[in-house]
């Protein structure tokens, strides 16, 4: 299975990296690399994380995890893991 990031999730990861860089380049790289590594691992273990509690009528394919105060939501599809969105946990979640 392949992991694919949506454009909006990639943009949010880039914004987070740039924001953290103002304080520490090393921390920015750590957060970025860890989040990417966790999503790469989803190819082998797609159901590793809990169901996404913010997804209405979740059919079991929508899941999410949090790391470093960032929430990553993804969907398990037939041939790919789709990283749908990423947001800082201080932001209000989208209901979808």
Domain count, the chain: 1
Asked if residue 37 is part of any domain, the answer here is yes
- Is 8:83 a contact under the CB 8 Å cutoff? no
Asked if residue 96 is part of any domain, the answer here is no
- Is 28:20 a contact under the CB 8 Å cutoff? yes
pLDDT digits (tens, 9 = 90+) for 25-71: 999 999 999 999 999 999 999 999 999 999 889 999 999 999 999 99
pLDDT of the residue at 73: 96
pLDDT of the residue at 95: 58
> pTM, whole model, 2 decimals?
0.90
Q: How far is CA 83 from CA 12, 27, 41, in A?
A: 11, 22, 12
The CATH number linked to 17 is 3.30.2310.20
pLDDT of the residue at 9: 97
Asked if residue 93 is part of any domain, the answer here is no
Asked if residue 95 is part of any domain, the answer here is no
Asked if residue 17 is part of any domain, the answer here is yes
Residue range of the domain that includes 21: 2-88
Asked if residue 40 is part of any domain, the answer here is yes
């Amino acid at each position: 299975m392949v992991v694919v990031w949506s454009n909006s999730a990639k943009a949010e990861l880039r914004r987070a990296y740039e924001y953290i860089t103002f304080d520490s380049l090393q921390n920015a790289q750590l957060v970025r690399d860890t989040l990417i590594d966790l999503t790469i691992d989803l190819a082998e273990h797609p159901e590793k994380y809990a169901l996404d509690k913010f997804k209405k009528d979740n059919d079991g394919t929508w899941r999410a995890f949090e790391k470093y105060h960032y929430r990553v939501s993804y969907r398990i599809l037939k041939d790919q893991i789709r990283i749908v969105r990423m947001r800082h946990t201080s932001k209000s979640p989208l209901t979808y």
